[in-house]
Amino acid sequence: MQEPIREPGRLALPHLVPLEFPDQTVLQYVTVCADKRRPLLAKPDIVALLLDCWRKADHWLVGRYVIMPDHLHLFCAPAKLPVTPLKQWVRFWRAEATRRWPYPAEKPVWQRDFFDRQLRHGESYH
């Protein structure tokens, strides 16, 4: 497999394995951007498509989310053990959304990478 092309001077984003603590659910905060930050996402049919792709990508459960024209934020938690790596899960639902994207001229849809952070406390979710 060929290495992805990166912009000069830009490092790949780290995607750390979630830390598990006793009696605490793993919660991840994820930001995914549209390719070139184009305003592709805030349309009712695209929101419905994303919700359906998240349901299909059932290894992680999506909680609260915000979909803006050029990016989205979501909270997610593992739904199955062993935990599927977050990067693999994001890759799956983005590929599914791209495959089903109703506007072919808008492809590619997603930036290559995404941002993620593990929440330390449940109160951060609220």
User: pLDDT by residue (tens digit) across 73-95?
Assistant: 999 999 998 989 999 999 999 99
CATH number, domain at 74?
A: 3.30.70.1290
Best CA proximity match to 29, nearest among 86, 103, 108, 112 = 86
3-state secondary structure of 77: strand
Q: What is the pLDDT of residue 1?
A: 43
How far is residue 98 CA from its own chain's centroid?
13
Report the number of distinct structural domains present in the chain: 1
**Is residue 126 in a domain?**
no
* Residue at 7 is within a domain: no
Identify whether 1 is part of a domain: no
Q: Look up the domain containing 80 and give its range.
A: 31-112
Which whole-number Å values give the CA distances from 45 to 23, 50, 98, 111, in the listed order? Answer: 38, 9, 13, 20
What is the torsional sign of CA 93, 98, 102, 106?
positive
- pTM of this prediction? 0.79
The enclosing H or E element of 95 equals: helix 86-99
For residue range 29-67, what is the model confidence (pLDDT) as tens digits? 999 999 999 999 999 999 999 999 999 999 999 999 999
Residue 8 lies in a domain: no
> Strand 60-67's sheet: what is its strand order?
60-67, 71-78, 28-34, 110-118
Backbone phi and psi for residue 15, each to the nearest 5 degrees, phi listed first: -125, 95
